[in-house]
Structure formats: C-alpha cells, structure tokens
Structure 1
Amino acid sequence: MYSSSEKLPHWDLSNIYPGLDSPEFEQSYGKVVSLLDNLDEYIERKQISRSDALSSDADLSQLSERITEMVDRLNTIFSLVYTLNSYVSSFTSTDSYNTQAKRLYSQVQAQIVRAQQAEMLFAGWLGGIGNNLSEIIEFNSTASEHAFYLQDWADRSRYLMSASEESLASDLSLSSLRAWRNLQGTITSQLSIDFNLDGEVKSLPLPALQNIRRYNPDSVVRQRAFEAEIKALESVREPLAACMNGVKGFTNVLNQRRGREDAIHPSLETSRIDRATLEAMLSAMQSSFPTFRRYLKAKARRFNKKSLPWWDLFAPVGKYNRKFNWSESQEFILDNFGSFSGDLAAFTRHAFDQNWIDAEPRDGKRGGAFCMRIPDLEESRVLCNFDGSLDQVSTIAHELGHAYHIECQKGKKFLQYQTPMTLAETASIFCETIIMESALQAASSLDEKLAILETILVGDTQVIVDISSRYMFEKEVFERREQADLSADELCEIISQAQKATYGEGLDENHLHPYMWAWKPHYYLEDISFYNYPYAFGLLFSTGLYAIYQQRGVEFVPQLQDLLASTGLANAADLASRFDIDIRSIDFWEDSLEVIRQRIERYLEL
C-alpha cells in the first residue's frame, strides 16, 4: 500500500488523440478501414497469393513494384492500427468499466485481423516467387531495407495452408481460439474467494488471494490462502480443462495441416532460434537444478522445514525497510541508469517529465505492469501499480528498459522492428539488473542484503526452474491431446509430475500446486504456444550481456544500443555473434547460469 501524500502520476495521452470520441480518433479509425479496403482491392487486382505467384508470368520489375507497394502499405497500416490499439488499450487497462473503450477495442482488433490476413497472403506470395526475391533485394531499396522480414516470411510461408484455408482459420479463431482464451480469462478474473484476514472476512479476487499466499509474513496465513486458492480453482476446473483442450486441440490441427514438425516448431520460428539453441539452453537449465534445490532447501531451513511447501516459495526472507515515494523512486532509477549511460538516464528523465507512466493503483485498473509502443509517435507508455517497495522500483526500471529498447529502434519502420520475445526482454532485464545490483551494494545490513538476494533468487528460480516445469507440462499436453481430450485430473497429474521433476527435493511433494495450469493465461494464448522458455532465454541472454558489460565498461554501451536497434533485423544467433556469443553452445548458457550460482552461494553464506 502506497502511503505517501505525494500524488502518483497518470499517463498523458493527449498527444496521441484528444479522446475516444474525438474527431481525430474517428478519422484515424476510418482511415485504417479505408486503407485496408484499398489493400484488399490491390491484393486481388495484383494477385498477391501463393497460388497466383506460382502461376504468374509477371517480370522482375513487376514483382519488384508489388513488393515495394505491399511493404509500404503494410508499414503504414500496421503502424496506424497499432497506434489506435495502444490508445484504446490505455483506457481498457486503467478502467475496466469503460464500455466505450471495450467496444472500440473489439473494433480495432477486427481491423488488426484484416491486416494480418493480408500479411499472410503476402507471405505466401513471397514464398511463391522463389529465387526472384533474392534478385529483387539486390536492386530494390525498399526490399533491401526489409530483407530480413521478406526472407523470413518467404521461408515461413512453407508452413501456410492455402489462402482460403488460412483466411478461414483466422476468421474461426475469433469464435474458437480467442473465445476459449477469453472464457479462461473471464472465469479466473471473476473468481471471488471469501478469506479471513486479520479477523475480517473479505471477498477477494484470485490475484489478491495469490499475493497473500506469496508474500504474507505469516506462514499460517500463507497456507490458508494456498488452500483457499486450490479450492477456488478446483471449483472451476471442468470449464478450464475444456478451455485447455479447445486451445491445444485446435492448435494441433492447425500445426498438422500446416505441415509442422511438432507443436514446438512454430514457437522456434517466432522466437527466431533453432532447435539446437533451445536444446542447449534447456540442457544447461536442467543441469542447474541441483544448485537451485540447494537454495530452496536453505530457504526451507529458515522456516524450520526440510523442503518448501508451495506457499513458502515466495515467502519473504530478511527485511528491506526502505519505502520510496514517487520522487525518490525516480531519483533512484535516474542515478543508477546514469552510472550505466547518460543516454539511458536522459531518455528516462524525458519519460518521467512527459508523464509516460501510469503509476497509481485504482479501482478498475489491471494489475501487474507493461510497456506499450505508440508506433506513429515513436513513443511508449508504461503501466505499473506503485506501492513504494523496492520490487516496484525494479519493475518500473524493467518496463523503462522496454521503452528504451523502443527508443533505440527510432527511425525504423514497423516491419523492421518486430522483435521476438527471446530478445524483447534484453533491455528490460538489463535495466532491472542495474537497479537490483545497486540496491544490493548499498544494503546497510545483512538483513537487507538477504532480503534483496531473496527477491532476485525468487525471480531466477521462477524463470529457470518453474519455467522448465511449464515447458515440460505444455509439451506433454500437446502430445497427449493428439490422442484424446485430457481430463482435469490428467492435467493436474501432468503439472504435478513436472513440478517434481524440476523442483525435486527442494519442494515438498505433498504440497505441490496441481492447478498451475488452470490460472496461467500463457497456456491459452491463441497465437503462440510455449510462451515460457523465451523468458529463460531473455534472462540468461541478458545476464550474459551484463557480465560482458562488467568486463568492458563504457565501450559496451554503444554495442548494446546497436543490438537493441537491430532486434527486428536478424535472428538471435546472428545478433549474439556480434558479442562472440554462440547461443547454440551449452557453454554460453552454463556461463550465464554460473552468475546465478554465485548469487546462490552468496545467499547461502548469509
């Protein structure tokens, strides 16, 4: 709870549009619809599809003209429609009661689907023109500037169905995949659990109950919260199991029809890594489990236990007494960012001064934190729920890292800055590390050092150990779903076995969390599966880069800026090679995990 009298900021959106009902917003929406109508007409007239490309007698200059036209149109449309999307999202995320914003959001989403359908047709056409694409890239400046995007989509087009089938799948996703996702979100967000806290029975939403389960200082209260959470999720397990089966079953069918190797294959493509990279990283992570179990058992001993029950995984250890008001949090972030780069500090000062951050928790505002791009303005906006804690200061630094990544891509066009999640966390985790390492060095007591190290290691454990369990769970669910629907009992059994395999003796096997599958939204996303291992990639890649920064100092800064500017222009392996990093080798991942191992050793010494 934020107790300072200092008012927390709301973000300023006035330079985007004056309001949801403003003529400017309405004009932009009308423009997107018109641009998409014109694009659909152009695609039909110029026969932009895979089948048309294979049978076309167009010469090289005609093909070149179509590439230029399609790239220019898609850049303009995507930039505008996602500006509209971000603007509307800024209202839905801060005021869930705003029915006008919800209606406009659904309308904008429909236009995004139209743009994506056009892009799929273009991708199929690119794959159909074959070697002509390489020749065109050599002499066409637009094609050359977008070479990675064009070649990437041409390669991925091998796994597209026919144009009519892809269009049908896209249309059906609104009432199938997205409907299952929305149902899961509605069920879990509307759960209300009666809970006795400090002698008063309150009706709590699931996230509030989970925060008590994680962070309440009283172990008995944490256990009661855990038991209430399990009971609540058990009450809705059947519809949630149906959602899981619906999403995974539909996705399996699409993967099979598209000729995919397996369920993991599409995620490798969107992550811009290959299977060798994933296997090297997962192998290194698995080898690190014994080290994490040492940390977990050491934490258990602090509670006079042999191993941790689930409700103690996040339990606070040590004590960090400092509370930040908003001005102090800004000063702390600016001072520490400045020690890394004056450019990063100046950008952050601009974000603070221009009110890019919405920090005040309030009724109707979503929890958590995020950073969103405003494409047409080349700006960002950050949402958080500031409570004065070091954890929230670190969260703000993390989201400002995302904003700085966007700043480094300034001048790039929409199709040039699309960043895979594996690389999207690079700047954010880097900035978060700057803050937490500084706080650790400035800690004035062993109790403070312990509390800060505990906060860091809880996060590391989630990203390495728990993410591994989620990956194992999702992989097995996809495989078993090919044969039949999975019951709620089977889903509970799969996640429990995955938790045992990863946490091992560090976790009390009598007190696992068999319903982690039920409330995690990542499993129900319609457009991406395995929304788990990219987090581990992001943490370990950024940790490796931070270690290089500690060796090289200021000369590293422009190299990092160049990397951030280029994350939409190359695959992960090529970008990593700029730092002599081989992400296909287990050695790099083990070196990054060694940094975490050293943190654990410091923790064990306290």
Structure 2
Amino acid sequence: MAAAHDLGPLPHWDLSNVFPALESDELKAAIARCDDMLGELEGYLDAQGIAKDAPRADDDAIRAALDGYLERMNDLVALYHTIGSYIRAFVTTDSFNQTARRMLSEIEPMGVRLHQIDVRLSGWVGTIADALPRITAQPGPAQAHAFYLRETAEQSRYLMSEAEESLAAELSLSGANAWSKLQGTITSQLTVDFARDGKVEKLPMPALINLMQHDPDPDVRRRAYEAEIAAWETVKEPLAAAMNGVKGATHTLDKRRGRRDPLHAALDHARIDRETLDAMMGAMQDAFPMFRRYLRAKAKRLGHAGGLPWWDLMAPVGRHERMYTWDEARAFILEHFAGFSPQLERLAQRAFDSCWIDAEQRPGKRAGAFCMGVPLVKESRILCNYDGSLDQVSTIAHELGHAFHNECIYAAGKTELQSITPMTLAETASILCENIVTDAALAEAQSADEELAILETDLIGKTQVIVDITSRYLFELEVFRRRAKAELSADELCELMLRYQKETYGDGLDERYLHKFMWTWKPHYYFAGLSFYNFPYAFGLLFGLGLYAIYKQRGAAFVPEYEALLASTGEDTAANLAARFGIDIRDRAFWKRSLDVIGERIERYVSL
C-alpha cells in the first residue's frame, strides 16, 4: 500500500500515433485538408441547392443530396474533432503552452464554418420534413441517419435566419467562447503558497483542492480550505465577468431562437422532456433527508457537534484508508473490469498500456477529469489528477467507462453524426464502471474500518451527484433568471451559491463554513452553448444504478444488450433507449428505486 507521496511514476498521455508533434508537417497538412474539405462541402451545398429558401426538389434528388452531404460531413467532422482533441490535449495539460493556445485559436474559425454548414443543412431539412419518412425508407446513408435527420428537422424551428446564425457563430469566438477560455486560463494558472511538513509549496489549485478534500490531517484540510477561499477572492471579478458574458450571450440567443428559456434548449440537447426532469428532480429532493442523515453521521464521526464544515465534506473516514500506487490502481481496475466483460477489460488494458491517461498533477493542468474521443484513430484520451485515493481510482474507472462507450460506438462502425450522444446518456457507462469498482472494494474490505472508508468514498460521491448537483442546478436557474435583467456581481453570485447550498444540504453542513466560490472553478457553468451541465450527471448516476441492478439480476446475458445500447446512444431518445430494458424514465418510482439503493448503503454506513 502506498503512502500518499509515493504513488509511483504517474503517466502523461501519448498522442504520437495521432500526429508527431504540435508543429509537425502532418498536423499542418491535416489542418489544411480540413480547410479544403470545408470549402468543398460549402460548394456542395451551393451545387445541390441545400438552403432554407431553395426550390423544392423531388424525393430522389433530395435523397441523393442528403446521401452526399452525410458522407462528406461525417468525414469532415471526424478530421476536425481529431485535430481539436490533439491540440486540446496540450492546452488542458499545460495552459502555459502558447503554441497550443495559438493553434487552438487558429482552428476555431473552422468550427464556426462547420456550425454555419450545419445551420444551413438544418434550415433546409426543416423544409423537407414531410419527405423524410419516404426518403429514409430506402437503404443508404439517409436511412442510416434517420434519427439524426428527424431530430434536425424538429430542432430547425429554433433557428434564427441563416445570416443571424452565421454572425452569432463568428461573434462567439470573441464573445462567449472567449469568456469560457478566460475562465479556464485563470483557474488552471492560479497557484497558492501552502505550508506543509515544514516547507512552503507553490500548489496549483487542483492539488490544493485535493489536499482540502482528501488529506488525513484535519488541520491541513482546514488550512487548504481557507487558502482556497482566499485565492478565489483574488480572481472573483474576472470570473464573474466571464459568467455574465457566457450566460448573457446564451439568454440573448435563446430568446432570439424562440426558446422558452435556457432549460428548454438543455432538455432538447439531453433528449429528455420536462416530465422526466421533474420526476427525477422530485425524487432526488424527496431523498435529501437520508443524505443529510449520512452527513450528520459523518460529522459525528469527525467530532463535530452539528453539520460538517466544508473542508470535512470530502474528508476520509476510517483510520486505514488505503492509498493506491498507480500500478495498484491499474491492477485493481483491470481485475474487476474482467469480471464484467472481456471487452471492458481489453479496453482498459489498452488504455493503460498505450498511455491514453494523463494522471500527474502539475501547474497549468486543468482540474478534474475528462475523457475525449480521437475519431480518426478510434481511441480515447483520459485526463485526471491522481492522488492515490480510492476516490481517484473510482474517477479513473469512471473515465474508462466513457472510453468504453466510445469503443462500443467505434466497434459498431457508427459515424460521427450517428454517435452524437446527449449528456444524460453519456454518463451511463461511466457510472456503471464506478459501481463495479465500488462493489469490488466493498467485497474485499478486511475490516469494518476499511468497509467504512469505502462506503464513505462511495457515499460522498453520490451526495455530490444528488445533493450538490441540485444546488448547482438551482443556482444556474436563478443566475439565468437574474441575468435576463442585469449583470450579477461576484458577491451576488456568492450569495446565490450559499443560498442553494443551504437549501439542499440543510443541516448536513455547518452553515458557517460553506463554499461561496464553487461557481468559480466548475467549468460546466462556462460552456458556451451547453447550459445546465449538472442534472445529466444525476440522470447518469440513477439510470446507471438502474441498469446495474438489471446486470446483477441477469449477469453475462445483460452485457451484449448493454453494449448495443452504448453503441446506439446517438440514435434515439433517452426514453426509447431506456424502454429496451423495461425502464420508464417518466415514472418517479424508477428514480426512487435507484435512490433506495443508495439509501441501503447509508443505513449500513450509519450502523457501522
């Protein structure tokens, strides 16, 4: 077992099989080819009369035009996404890399042109919606992309004019996207001088946050919390400006596009309806008392008379929390993935062996974790900030779940347009992989103290996804409501954050020590064009728990159907895909059953 400071060599990801280097001739040629393909596709639209105001053609001509478009667009998107993933791999691990940042800026106008092409296609498809059932009845690319075309036709009603959409896309580079990049730059470059073990270290924020969350010394956790709050205080004004910039632009565009509100667009992107969201959120809020019971039990274990102070929210519980070296984490994950399916184990083995994972904490690297696909090589890359905790082992398993999802899509031969997965379903595989690791850790616990530590890691993660996610959802709703009238000051944003932490955590937390700056470093608030990146995590957790319960009932027979589900998450609504397994996501009872699984673990935790 590893000491916290002895994790073994931590890998950096390798993308040399994608392009040799940032300034290589191969990458330059790929960018030039992408630019050429954009021009060719723009010319194709002109030649085929693909435009909202174009004269109506017959079905055969429409089918031929669609088939040609789909083939060209899929090839173009695969190349553009591969180039983007490659460059972002450098930006996200070293925000000081000026070459990578310049190159990312240089390719962004191509993304604008892609969006403009998509808008033009969408406007045209909206005018031929009545012909789509006939056109997609015959074999060919249009039939293979029937769901994509139907969804495109439905969403075309929320487009501005082609000229307005084109202008909005161009302005986004110096507007909402620029604000988003500013937030990423500030939060990844901010460092704090922190005294520990008799010396002062200059820590990047992800490392400081990991200390606050996981260090076994309560004094270190408290001081890390205080240092973190003080650090965010120094950058709150530019981050508030970034928040206002992103949310203001989103509100304006949603209004011009005829959306009822920003949540309307988020639900469509998530491929769920309000009935589903209300059922899920209602069940979650009904479950808050059991989560508060867990938090108060944890507070008591840590010697607090009331609720938890923020610095102890994620604190380890149990005197012998295991720390995993990198090699131990790898072995543990591979062993237990193998028990689920050979395909999952092979994917994880490949990810470890081929250096798909960037694990080391270092200055300039973004906080948190993510997985991104690299379409042209049909691979994924994973970023995390590994610290040896079971929580981080679970994070690696989570991100490998995303990579497995990508693998199922690649293996099924799905195109880029067939694999546009909503945020809700994007968390399905990752949550199931987390459950595999947690169940394995609980099964191998050697003592009540170790079981307690494992339950703690599991429950605090689920508390984040149910309780904290609700606080973020309510916060974002109110930010949008107020931003429609005026800009919000940094202090107003802090006040709202505190309000919704109190409303959701209740007496589970000590109200004197909350985290008013949680809005500063969560990048989800700053994604231009992607609002409410919060409730999909809860959907993914609870839907994943529902699927995992079916897996435990059916065993190996479940796996092929599950892999088929993952391969087709871009080709139907969440409700229809869930129905394959007899799940009704509009039924509050389904969500309650998944929450009851968490409740059983809370009861066990309290009883230990």
Could you say if the C-alpha distance between residues 316 and 119 of structure 1 is closer, same or farther in structure 2, counting changes exceeding 3 Å?
A: same
| d(CA) in 1 for partners of 2:398, 2:46 | 44
3-state DSSP of counterpart to 1:371: strand
Q: Which stretch shifts more, 316-325 or 440-449?
A: 316-325
Residue 174 of structure 1, CA deviation:
0.7
Could you say if the C-alpha distance between residues 364 and 263 of structure 1 is closer, same or farther in structure 2, counting changes exceeding 3 Å?
A: closer
Could you say if the C-alpha distance between residues 484 and 328 of structure 1 is closer, same or farther in structure 2, counting changes exceeding 3 Å?
A: closer
Residue 443 of structure 1, aligned match among 429, 442, 445: 445
| d(CA) in 1 for partners of 2:175, 2:437 | 43
Could you say if the C-alpha distance between residues 213 and 122 of structure 1 is closer, same or farther in structure 2, counting changes exceeding 3 Å?
A: same
Aligned to 2:561: 559
3-state DSSP of counterpart to 1:530: coil
Could you say if the C-alpha distance between residues 208 and 344 of structure 1 is closer, same or farther in structure 2, counting changes exceeding 3 Å?
A: closer
| d(CA) in 2 for partners of 1:12, 1:180 | 29
Could you say if the C-alpha distance between residues 222 and 393 of structure 1 is closer, same or farther in structure 2, counting changes exceeding 3 Å?
A: closer
Given that 1:409 and 1:564 are in contact with CA atoms closer than 8 Å, whether structure 2 keeps it comes out as yes
Deviations 1:408-449 (A, max 9, x none): 112111101111111111111111111111011101011111
Given that 2:7 and 2:388 are in contact with CA atoms closer than 8 Å, whether structure 1 keeps it comes out as no
| d(CA) in 1 for partners of 2:454, 2:278 | 32
Aligned to 1:505: 507
Could you say if the C-alpha distance between residues 230 and 392 of structure 1 is closer, same or farther in structure 2, counting changes exceeding 3 Å?
A: closer
Aligned to 2:48: 46
Aligned to 2:224: 225
Could you say if the C-alpha distance between residues 515 and 395 of structure 1 is closer, same or farther in structure 2, counting changes exceeding 3 Å?
A: closer
Residue 541 of structure 2, aligned match among 514, 526, 539: 539
Q: Give the structure-1-normalised TM-score.
A: 0.95
Identity %: 55
Give yes or no for the alignment of 1:579 onto 2:578: no
Given that 1:64 and 1:140 are in contact with CA atoms closer than 8 Å, whether structure 2 keeps it comes out as no
Letter in 2 for 1:504: G
Deviations 1:179-207 (A, max 9, x none): 22122233333433333334434443333
Aligned to 1:103: 102
Given that 2:207 and 2:361 are in contact with CA atoms closer than 8 Å, whether structure 1 keeps it comes out as no
| d(CA) in 1 for partners of 2:361, 2:223 | 26
Aligned to 1:164: 163
| d(CA) in 2 for partners of 1:512, 1:557 | 42
Q: Which stretch shifts more, 548-557 or 233-242?
A: 233-242
Aligned to 1:280: 279
Give yes or no for the alignment of 1:78 onto 2:77: yes
| d(CA) in 1 for partners of 2:544, 2:7 | 37
Could you say if the C-alpha distance between residues 585 and 182 of structure 1 is closer, same or farther in structure 2, counting changes exceeding 3 Å?
A: same
| d(CA) in 1 for partners of 2:50, 2:378 | 30
3-state DSSP of counterpart to 1:138: coil
Alignment of 1:476-491 (within 5 A): 476-491=478-493
The aligned length equals: 603
Residue 33 of structure 1, CA deviation:
0.4
Given that 1:320 and 1:452 are in contact with CA atoms closer than 8 Å, whether structure 2 keeps it comes out as no
| d(CA) in 2 for partners of 1:513, 1:363 | 23
3-state DSSP of counterpart to 1:372: strand
Could you say if the C-alpha distance between residues 290 and 263 of structure 1 is closer, same or farther in structure 2, counting changes exceeding 3 Å?
A: same
3-state DSSP of counterpart to 1:165: helix
Given that 2:369 and 2:395 are in contact with CA atoms closer than 8 Å, whether structure 1 keeps it comes out as yes
Given that 2:211 and 2:221 are in contact with CA atoms closer than 8 Å, whether structure 1 keeps it comes out as yes
Residue 367 of structure 1, CA deviation:
4.1
Q: Which stretch shifts more, 320-329 or 417-426?
A: 320-329
| d(CA) in 2 for partners of 1:112, 1:236 | 30
Given that 1:74 and 1:119 are in contact with CA atoms closer than 8 Å, whether structure 2 keeps it comes out as no
Q: Which stretch shifts more, 388-397 or 519-528?
A: 388-397
Q: Which stretch shifts more, 174-183 or 184-193?
A: 184-193
Given that 1:281 and 1:589 are in contact with CA atoms closer than 8 Å, whether structure 2 keeps it comes out as yes
Aligned to 2:340: 340
3-state DSSP of counterpart to 1:196: strand
Aligned to 1:67: 66
Gaps of 5+ in 1: none
Could you say if the C-alpha distance between residues 109 and 592 of structure 1 is closer, same or farther in structure 2, counting changes exceeding 3 Å?
A: same
Given that 1:2 and 1:386 are in contact with CA atoms closer than 8 Å, whether structure 2 keeps it comes out as no
Give yes or no for the alignment of 1:238 onto 2:240: no
| d(CA) in 2 for partners of 1:240, 1:464 | 26
Deviations 1:23-76 (A, max 9, x none): 322222111100101112222333322233xxx132222211211121111101
Aligned to 2:207: 208
| d(CA) in 1 for partners of 2:12, 2:206 | 23
| d(CA) in 1 for partners of 2:320, 2:571 | 42
Residue 293 of structure 1, CA deviation:
0.5
Given that 1:319 and 1:450 are in contact with CA atoms closer than 8 Å, whether structure 2 keeps it comes out as no
Could you say if the C-alpha distance between residues 381 and 191 of structure 1 is closer, same or farther in structure 2, counting changes exceeding 3 Å?
A: closer
Q: Give the structure-2-normalised TM-score.
A: 0.95
| d(CA) in 2 for partners of 1:233, 1:418 | 35
Gaps of 5+ in 2: none
Deviations 1:237-260 (A, max 9, x none): 333222222221221111111000
Aligned to 1:176: 175
Alignment of 1:394-413 (within 5 A): 394-410=394-410, 411-413=413-415
RMSD (Å) for aligned C-alpha atoms = 2.0
Could you say if the C-alpha distance between residues 224 and 357 of structure 1 is closer, same or farther in structure 2, counting changes exceeding 3 Å?
A: closer
Letter in 1 for 2:465: V
| d(CA) in 2 for partners of 1:374, 1:103 | 21
Letter in 2 for 1:390: L
3-state DSSP of counterpart to 1:246: helix
Letter in 1 for 2:16: S
Q: Which stretch shifts more, 457-466 or 18-27?
A: 18-27
Deviations 1:542-598 (A, max 9, x none): 011111111111111111111111101111000000000000110110000000001
Letter in 1 for 2:558: F
Letter in 2 for 1:566: S
Could you say if the C-alpha distance between residues 489 and 346 of structure 1 is closer, same or farther in structure 2, counting changes exceeding 3 Å?
A: closer
| d(CA) in 2 for partners of 1:223, 1:116 | 46
Given that 2:543 and 2:594 are in contact with CA atoms closer than 8 Å, whether structure 1 keeps it comes out as yes
Letter in 1 for 2:102: R
Aligned to 2:358: 358
Aligned to 2:380: 380
Given that 1:148 and 1:570 are in contact with CA atoms closer than 8 Å, whether structure 2 keeps it comes out as yes
| d(CA) in 2 for partners of 1:164, 1:481 | 26
Residue 527 of structure 1, CA deviation:
1.6
| d(CA) in 2 for partners of 1:215, 1:147 | 48
Letter in 1 for 2:486: A
Given that 1:308 and 1:508 are in contact with CA atoms closer than 8 Å, whether structure 2 keeps it comes out as yes
Aligned to 2:429: 427
Letter in 2 for 1:561: E
Q: Which stretch shifts more, 200-209 or 527-536?
A: 200-209
| d(CA) in 1 for partners of 2:323, 2:219 | 26
Letter in 1 for 2:290: T
Letter in 1 for 2:428: T
Give yes or no for the alignment of 1:457 onto 2:456: no
| d(CA) in 1 for partners of 2:495, 2:93 | 37
| d(CA) in 1 for partners of 2:17, 2:111 | 23
3-state DSSP of counterpart to 2:580: helix
Could you say if the C-alpha distance between residues 339 and 189 of structure 1 is closer, same or farther in structure 2, counting changes exceeding 3 Å?
A: closer
Could you say if the C-alpha distance between residues 99 and 154 of structure 1 is closer, same or farther in structure 2, counting changes exceeding 3 Å?
A: same
Letter in 2 for 1:264: L
| d(CA) in 2 for partners of 1:7, 1:245 | 41
Q: Which stretch shifts more, 206-215 or 32-41?
A: 206-215
| d(CA) in 2 for partners of 1:520, 1:5 | 27
Given that 2:188 and 2:364 are in contact with CA atoms closer than 8 Å, whether structure 1 keeps it comes out as no
Aligned to 1:417: 419
3-state DSSP of counterpart to 1:108: helix
Alignment of 1:114-133 (within 5 A): 114-133=113-132
Residue 360 of structure 1, CA deviation:
4.1
Could you say if the C-alpha distance between residues 315 and 361 of structure 1 is closer, same or farther in structure 2, counting changes exceeding 3 Å?
A: closer
Aligned to 1:92: 91
